[in-house]
Amino acid sequence: MAAGPARRLAERTHAMRTSATTLTEPTREIPIRHTADVVVCGGGPAGVAAAVAAARRGADTLLLERYGCLGGLATGGLVLVLPSFEDSGRPIIGGIGLETRTRLVEAGASVCRGGADAAFFDPEALKWLSQHMVRESGARILHHVWIASAHVEGQRVRAAIVESKAGRFAVAGRVFIDCTGDGDLFAAAGASFEASTQQIGLPFRLCHVDVARWKQAAADDRAAVGEAIQAAARRAGFEGWLGLEAMPTPDGLVWCNNMLCDRDGLSPEDLSYVETAGRDAIRRIVTELRATVPGFERAWLVDTASQVGVRRSRRLIGEYVMGDEDTAQFDRRFDDAVGRGNDFRQQGIAFDFPYRALVPREVDGLLVAGRCVSCSHEALEPIREIHNCWVMGEAAGTAAALSLRLGCPVRDVPIASLQADLRGAGVVL
């Protein structure tokens, strides 16, 4: 990113911080506007799977989402590639993840690429399918509520406090599942966590690319075309990498994944910077690509992601913290496994998600799933992928429903019963 705007932003942020004073909010009563057995916070891949799993088992389930669609980064964030669901020919992802991909493929909204198992999908189709599966399961959806705080009695979460156009109100529940990606609920509830950053992206899509011409140029001289794209990205102001993938549609649609710059995904100032400077850079990259990369002469910007691409922020420090040693080797197994994941970067790696990684140490009535699960900075790299988030969400929703059925705290759910339930739903264990 250009030094000028970055420095101006840093100065402005510093001025805001140094001139800030504090004030005391008056105590006030707020209404409990909704109640549910299971309250799922955040409607990304993990949250959708959690809500579907809990509701399919008969739990009265409410899914809370700040934006007006479901799917999280996979839809609003324009993250459009599902990694392989297999490892070395063995199935890894079953259950709700496999069902979702199968339903996308059957609807003509997802196409596997090359000989591999990985798949592109249409974000609008996943938006619709996610809400359809949630409603079909019997769970309710409440959009346009921002989880701002948690009401905790003793150690137990009793309500999520949300802000909305209708003001601040509480959503009471018996079990809560934090799938906000950023751990907004567990942080407010007092659970331990770590936070770290990684380059934030702002995916976008181009159309009218002459894909055949581009691919031919790449076949003639892969290094030159690759360097032309990265040079264009540098001139446009991308600090990190830009990846272009032709979508399997007939209209020259190209998905542009990227790493714009390293900022704090929990800071409104930093996120504002990434989105505004990012859209400036995207306008410039279109001009650069048109001028320098064969096949992009008529490229047209279709859209930029409406949800900024935060790769990592808070990670729970739960009953077990998954580390590099758990995700970087073949066949790492746990007795309390509630699903399996794999590494999008390479075959030959498959690992278990131990139930303890979903359970906070200090807070009761709460489970955590998705990219804010309990793991190290390094381990999150494979864990945070969409298909793995579906697995974790399904495990959390199933455990929540089982705890209610058995009348036990979520942290004490009998693992053998949970595993039997998950296996019955097609989850690979």
| Residue found by looking up tokens 């156009």 in the block | 165
Question: Which single residue brings its beta carbon nearest to ligand FAD?
Answer: 44
- For every residue of 14-51, DSSP letters joined together read HHHHHH-----PPP----EEEEEEEEEE--SHHHHHHH
- Is the CB of residue 156 less than 8 Å from the CB of residue 19? no
> Considering beta carbons, is residue 340 or 371 the nearer one to ligand FAD?
371
- Is the CB of residue 199 less than 8 Å from the CB of residue 64? no
> Considering beta carbons, is residue 358 or 386 the nearer one to ligand FAD?
386
**DSSP-based three-state secondary structure for 413:** coil
State the nearest-atom distance from the C-beta of 220 to ligand FAD, in Å: 27
State the nearest-atom distance from the C-beta of 201 to ligand FAD, in Å: 3
> Considering beta carbons, is residue 50 or 232 the nearer one to ligand FAD?
50
State the nearest-atom distance from the C-beta of 291 to ligand FAD, in Å: 25
State the nearest-atom distance from the C-beta of 249 to ligand FAD, in Å: 17
Contacts (Cβ under 8 Å, ≥6 apart) of 210: 252, 294, 295, 296, 297, 298
> Considering beta carbons, is residue 72 or 365 the nearer one to ligand FAD?
72
> Considering beta carbons, is residue 206 or 217 the nearer one to ligand FAD?
206
State the nearest-atom distance from the C-beta of 21 to ligand FAD, in Å: 25
Tokens of 281: 């850079």
State the nearest-atom distance from the C-beta of 65 to ligand FAD, in Å: 5
Tokens of 211: 């894909």
The residues that touch ligand FAD, with contacts defined as CB under 6 A, are 42-47, 64-67, 72-74, 77, 79, 81-83, 146-147, 179-182, 184, 201, 203, 257, 309-311, 370-371, 384-386, 389
> Considering beta carbons, is residue 217 or 382 the nearer one to ligand FAD?
382
**DSSP-based three-state secondary structure for 386:** helix
Angle at 392 between CA 313 and CA 424, to 5 degrees: 175
Look up residue 289 and give its DSSP letter: H
State the nearest-atom distance from the C-beta of 66 to ligand FAD, in Å: 4
Backbone angles phi, psi at 125, to 5 degrees: -65, -40
CA-closest candidate to residue 406, choices 59, 49, 55, 52: 59
> Considering beta carbons, is residue 200 or 217 the nearer one to ligand FAD?
200
41 vs 148: CA distance, rounded Å: 11
238 vs 1: CA distance, rounded Å: 6
- Is the CB of residue 269 less than 8 Å from the CB of residue 13? yes
State the nearest-atom distance from the C-beta of 395 to ligand FAD, in Å: 13
